[in-house]
């Protein structure tokens, strides 16, 4: 039994108020409570989130979470150096892997994006610095309801544009915003959620 509170958060059976999407399914709840919105740094960790958000496009996040262990195994734990070295045989291997989302465009984008990460390092800022340069400062206030959460923002539009300029694929403004939410660049836990920081 869950109970909605005035600001859009939902109080679960454990008495904890959470964002509605993280209140029911145990896997989503764990992700909501321990990962989503936590500040994340590190090249390979951010590359993994970038890839998973791209694979999620058109699907539910729960599908991706359930497949995340298989994604990690298939993509060498999202080690950028390893994935950048993937060739045609690896793409075919991934297309045959029922444990992941078998979409050729998304798989090829993940490989191409690993190579783009390496080019970024050669040219200057690196993936971590580039992504975090788009984090809004000051941060926006916590949204009160899910209706207050936009699918894109000016910051995510700018991030997607810069990533595309740098050769990244399958990263539009919506995917960029989801990445920003997931990695703590923006905190969009609802105001009544126990994880909200503002």
Residues with a known catalytic role: 31, 53, 61
DSSP class of residue 149 equals -
- Between CA 110 and CA 89 the distance in angstroms is 15
Instruction: Give the residues across from 17 on adjacent strands.
Output: 11
For residue 173, the SS3 value is helix
Contact 64, 52 (CB under 8 A): yes
CA distances from 15 to 9, 18, 134, 193 (A): 12, 10, 35, 11
- Between CA 159 and CA 174 the distance in angstroms is 10
């Amino acid at each position: 039994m869950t109970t909605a509170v005035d600001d859009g958060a939902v109080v679960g059976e454990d008495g904890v108020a959470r964002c509605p999407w993280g209140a029911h399914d145990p896997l989503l709840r764990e992700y909501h409570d321990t990962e989503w919105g936590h500040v994340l740094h590190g090249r390979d960790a951010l590359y993994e989130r970038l890839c998973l958000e791209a694979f999620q496009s058109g699907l539910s996040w729960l599908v991706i979470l359930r497949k995340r262990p298989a994604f990690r195994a298939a993509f060498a734990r999202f080690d950028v150096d390893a994935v950048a070295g993937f060739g045609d045989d690896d793409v075919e291997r991934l297309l045959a892997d029922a444990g992941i989302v078998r979409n050729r465009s998304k798989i090829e984008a993940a490989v191409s994006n690993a190579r783009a990460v390496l080019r970024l390092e050669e040219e200057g800022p690196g993936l971590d610095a580039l992504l975090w340069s788009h984090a809004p400062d000051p941060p926006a206030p916590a949204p009160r309801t899910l209706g207050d959460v936009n699918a894109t923002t000016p910051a995510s539009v700018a991030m997607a544009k810069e990533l595309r300029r740098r050769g990244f694929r399958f990263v539009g403004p919506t995917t960029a915003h989801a990445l920003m939410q997931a990695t703590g660049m923006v905190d969009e836990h609802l105001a009544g959620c126990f994880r909200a920081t503002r």
